[in-house]
Chain A
Amino acid sequence: MQQRWGLPIVAWPARLRPGLWDVVALPLVIGAIVLIGWAMKEMSVPYQAGDELPISLDPWMLPEYGLRSVLRMGIALCFSLVFSLAYAALAAKSPRAEKLMVPVLDILQSVPILGFLSITVTGFIAIFPGSLLGYECAAIFAIFTSQAWNMTFSLYQSFRAVPVELREAARMYHLSAWETFWRLEVPYALPNLVWNMMMSVSGGWFFVVASEAITVAGQNTSLPGIGSYIALAIDQRDLAAVGWAIIAMGGFILIYDQLLFRPLLAWSQRFKVEAITSDESEDAWFLTMLRRAQVFRIVTFVTDIVVGRMSRLYQRLAPPRRVRAREVSHTYSRGIDIAWAAVLVLGAAWSLYEVIVFATTEVGWSEVLRVVLLGCATMVRVVVLVALASLVWVPIGVWIGLRPAVAHRAQPIVQFLAAFPANLFFPVVVFLIVQFHLNVEIWVSPLMILGTQWYILFNVVAGTLALPTDYILVASNLGVSRWLWWRRLILPAIFPAYVTGAVTASGGSWNAAIVAEVVKWGDTKLVATGIGAYIADNTQAGDFPRIALGITVLALFVLAFNGLVWRRLYNLAEERLRLD
């Protein structure tokens, strides 16, 4: 008690003495710190709009550019983590906040990510005038928006799903709210969170590439990174440089995977509540190194002390648990509920009024109608593409899924393909369209699903793998074959998994529309009719009202599409076709 504020008596435990793994680990740690320091300095160099940032097509510059891109990704990931923890905790704990926060999150999820970039970039530049940092922040923010919502939803759902008896045990043994959060809720949410982080980062590479070449009111700014490198290669019609960029990106994704996600995934296994220890075979050499090297034990040792102190501090500062007078608080809280609902309704009404005023004065109703029609054009593309991708990948996915040995080998490849930013391949496709004079309206479309089709394949494989062998044996025993086999056995069995994959694929396609409907190769610019092209063009021109209009309509399309199509299919899958 008395020594609470004194220095901690640090007994140097025997397990913290240096070992063989440290020989490898120590230089790694120091190297990483130095690199991050250097890149941070580079990020905040003085910069005025219009200045030339020299980007070189020399392949040897790619490691440096790649590092800058990777770092942006890392920073965005940290922010996403902090944001999602705070947001999800609040939404899960306060029913009042929940009423607003969950729908808001749902809408944020439907807003196209590059739309965030178009809208926020001017603001960030104003915050850091005369420095590159404003542009860096805008790019990082765009990457952040591609990760945060997804992670927040996962955390929110996990927080709500913590088993009642575990919560009761935490209360029974007098864990404070702070301790319950860090020792029960966060650990419980970890396995899902790590998986979602990995998926988010996969999707994020696309936006890392897309957000580095920023145009504000006609002024091009290229942040050093792989995205800018490829933008320059497109500008100079350098197909070889595109190839180098693709190779370098592949390398960086592999490194990210090996150094960050393999270890994280393997480590998060122990937070799983189910008593299964199947995926223990995750090949995580880096985790082994971390576990063996004493350097990192010191890190955990110190964090333990810090977290311990924090929770003591919290216990001291937090007010003692109030004893509520139940009767009084009941009517009182109902009053607040009503007031809160009134505030929300009024806020919504006021916003709606503003939107109508904006639409009539700034852009005009005919423009709104035109944008809605453009949205329909893009929707047709998305629907056709998801259908085509399904026709291709469902049979292939089932074929792979029925052969566990093949599936085991294919899994990392598909995961890698899903992570690979498809926009790096755009120049190749555009080059082909130009060469063979193909129809732009049709042949630009595949770009939209290039990166996200893998989710369909991935989920179909997983769904087929999960199908109990008994079912397949019964089918063959009864002589069920061909079309009947698909209709009565496979399609219903993989449907829930397929829907999950198709939702992701269609969401990704909407997002990709902004970069896929306008593509360039040198001076040649190919434009397809659609809402994505509308947003891209107006971003180029710096026309803020039209950007806002385009993004709002696109978001509404995504919301409606999700609500009317995917959610229904999802419910159907949940209610009728679950295997248990």
Chain B
Amino acid sequence: MIELPLVEAKQVSKTYQTPDHAGRLVLDSIDFSLREGEIVALLGKSGSGKSTFLRTIAGLTQPTGGSVVYRGRDVLGPAHGIAMVFQSFALFPWLTVLGNVELGLEAQGVPKQERRQRALKAIDLIGLDGFESAYPKELSGGMRQRVGFARALVVNPDVLLLDEPFSALDVLTAETLRGDLMDLWTERRVPTKGIILVSHNIEEAVEIADRIIVFASDPGRIRAIIPIKLPHPRDYASPAFRQIVDEVYGLLTTVPGREGGKRGQKAEPLGLGYRLPSASVQQLNGLLDTLMEPPFKGRADLPHLAEAVSLNDDDMLVLIEAVQIMGFANVGGGDIEATASGRKFANADMEERKQLFAKALLAQIPLAAHIRRVLDERPGHAAPETRFLRELEDYLSEEEAERVLESVINWGRYAEIFAYDYDRGVLSLENPGA
């Protein structure tokens, strides 16, 4: 028997119009299908377009190329039968729990009696009974997201879209809510036939998904599809589970342009338009410290290290990318290992660390080297930030260019390779007060 997919995306592309009409590709020819009875998790670094892709399926945004098909028809706007749960809950604060859950039914014109009945049933199902008359601001984050789920489930959707629904919650609350959702799903107590989950938590994705789709950035495209055949409920500690987590970590931590770069092998240099991650220098210091200390002593399993420094996967990925491009560590197969210069850095004192960081920054990051060169060559040893912003905008969107420049300024200031005056927006070589 051939099963028709519930939702199918064919060659979906999305280009954002930039002010100069150049257009920036954020999604590049994505083919995807959601089959009945399946949970699919979308993973990727922030900015990989996974959220945009979810919104394309939701009909909240239109692809500029290709199409999304649901029940044999093109999705041109929010379709009946597809419901969504939001990261920020997106509850109407002036409506009670009941009012929020009823809203979708009301908009469909469901008569009052039936509306009330169905809403109360959904509230009961998600474990919110007793809170019907509460306003969202009276509830904790976990309870609020339960309202979000009840509001989605009450319209009996075929397809449930989850946009990082657990990431605004603390670990314990997220765990409980995820468990409750999985119970509803595996016991078939909801008519939902398929779920797409956008997540930034790798273990979460491995725990609940039947398939994980890893997105690559610039432009957003599918990098890998990983089927997970483990039975539910899944055991975090089992070797099979750990192996998949490691595999996903490995896929997500390879720096673009250095794919397949094995230890010791000469890496391909980065370009000027490279999206420097917004990693905090303090955290980078801390990560290398932790990596060099016992129990890791220079080599660690990435999920373990993430746990040890208590960072979520999003922040962790940013940091890992930063230590990699600076040449302080190498990553492969879900493991991280400090390089010689990484070890030297971790053993150095504050002043030495700055010098090592400066050396690595000028050697590895073309943007930093470029700024330093321009400042050296200019007679006054100063240049307005707009000069560099305009250069970056040849490669990046305006917003992204600002983020990258801010990041390189932060690193450059720490390394003391140049100074920046916020009030005047000027980069220079002078030391403040000197």
Contact = CB atoms under 8 A, between A and B. Distances in A.
Contacts of B84: 168-169, 172
B151 A173 contact: yes
B76 A271 contact: no
A168 B163 CA distance: 12
Contact of B80 (A163, A174, A272): A174
Interface in A164-193: 165-166, 168-169, 171-176, 179, 183-184, 187, 190
Contacts of A175: 103, 107
B108 A172 contact: no
Nearest to B83: A172
A166 B62 contact: no
Interface centre among A174, A183, A187, A273 (most CB of B within 10 A): A174
Contact of B93 (A165, A176, A271): A271
A443 B62 CA distance: 65
B94 A312 contact: no
B72 to A, nearest CB: 16
Interface string A177-214: 00100011001001000000000000000000000000
B153 to A, nearest CB: 12
Interface string B132-159: 0001010000000000000100010000
Contacts of B91: 169
B86 A165 contact: yes
B169 to A, nearest CB: 15
B156 to A, nearest CB: 13
Contacts of B114: none
Contact of B104 (A173, A184, A326): A173
A277 interface: yes
Nearest to A330: B17
A166 B84 CA distance: 12
B93 A184 contact: no
A45 B376 CA distance: 83
Contacts of B94: 187, 190, 270-271
A174 B109 CA distance: 10
B303 to A, nearest CB: 30
A553 to B, nearest CB: 36
Interface residues of B, number: 30
Nearest to B163: A165
A168 B137 contact: no
A321 interface: yes
Interface string B53-78: 00100101010100000000000111
Interface string B145-189: 000000100010000000000000000000000000000000000
A576 B423 contact: yes
Given A163-B90, A171-B78, A326 B62 contact: yes
Nearest to A165: B90
B90 A166 contact: yes
A84 B342 CA distance: 61
B103 A272 contact: no
A176 B103 CA distance: 12
Nearest to A179: B107
Contacts of B104: 173-174
Tell me the dominant secondary structure on chain B's binding face: loop
Contacts of A276: 137
Nearest to B422: A576
B87 interface: yes
Nearest to A169: B90
B312 interface: no
Contact of B90 (A168, A176, A179, A576): A168
Nearest to B76: A323
A275 B92 contact: no
A273 B77 contact: no
Q: How many A residues are at the interface, by size bracket? A: 20 to 34
Interface in B89-146: 90-94, 103-104, 107-109, 135, 137
Nearest to B148: A169
A184 B92 contact: yes
Contacts of B77: 171, 321
A168 B60 contact: yes
Given A271-B93, A273-B93, A176 B107 contact: yes
Contacts of A176: 107
A277 B92 contact: no
B78 A174 contact: yes
Given A163-B90, A173-B107, A326-B62, A277 B151 contact: no
B364 interface: no
A187 B92 contact: yes
A273 B86 CA distance: 16
B79 to A, nearest CB: 9
Given A168-B84, A275-B137, A174 B60 contact: no
B86 to A, nearest CB: 5
Contact of B107 (A163, A168, A174, A187): A174
A173 B155 contact: yes
Given A168-B60, A321-B77, A174 B108 contact: yes
A270 B87 CA distance: 22
Contacts of A277: 137
Contact of A171 (B60, B76, B88): B60
Interface centre among B58, B62, B93 (most CB of A within 10 A): B93
Nearest to B87: A165
Interface string B192-211: 00000000000000000000
A165 B88 contact: yes
Nearest to A174: B107
A172 B93 contact: no
A275 B93 CA distance: 9
B137 A169 contact: no
Contacts of A323: 76
Contacts of A271: 93-94
Contacts of B58: 168, 172
Interface in A532-547: none
Nearest to A184: B92
Contacts of A179: 107
Contact of A172 (B62, B76, B78, B423): B78
A165 B55 CA distance: 11
Nearest to B136: A275
B137 A183 contact: no
B135 A270 contact: yes
Interface centre among A173, A312, A323 (most CB of B within 10 A): A173
B88 A173 contact: no
A190 B94 CA distance: 10
B216 to A, nearest CB: 25
Interface string B387-408: 0000000000000000000000
B86 A169 contact: yes
A452 B78 CA distance: 50
Contacts of A165: 86-88, 90
A187 B155 CA distance: 24
A184 B87 CA distance: 18
A172 B92 contact: no
A163 B78 contact: no
Interface centre among B62, B82, B90 (most CB of A within 10 A): B90
Nearest to B103: A173
Contacts of B60: 168, 171-172
B89 to A, nearest CB: 8
Contacts of B107: 173-176, 179
A176 B104 CA distance: 11
Contacts of A183: 92, 103
A321 B75 CA distance: 13
Contacts of A326: 62, 64
A195 to B, nearest CB: 16
15 contacts: A169-B92, A171-B77, A171-B78, A172-B78, A173-B151, A173-B155, A176-B107, A179-B107, A184-B92, A187-B94, A270-B135, A271-B93, A272-B93, A312-B109, A315-B109
Given A172-B60, A271-B93, 14 more contacts: A165-B88, A168-B58, A168-B86, A172-B58, A172-B82, A173-B83, A173-B151, A173-B155, A174-B78, A174-B80, A183-B103, A271-B94, A272-B137, A576-B423
4 cross-chain pairs, A with B, having the tightest CB-CB distances, nearest first = A173-B104, A169-B90, A165-B90, A275-B137
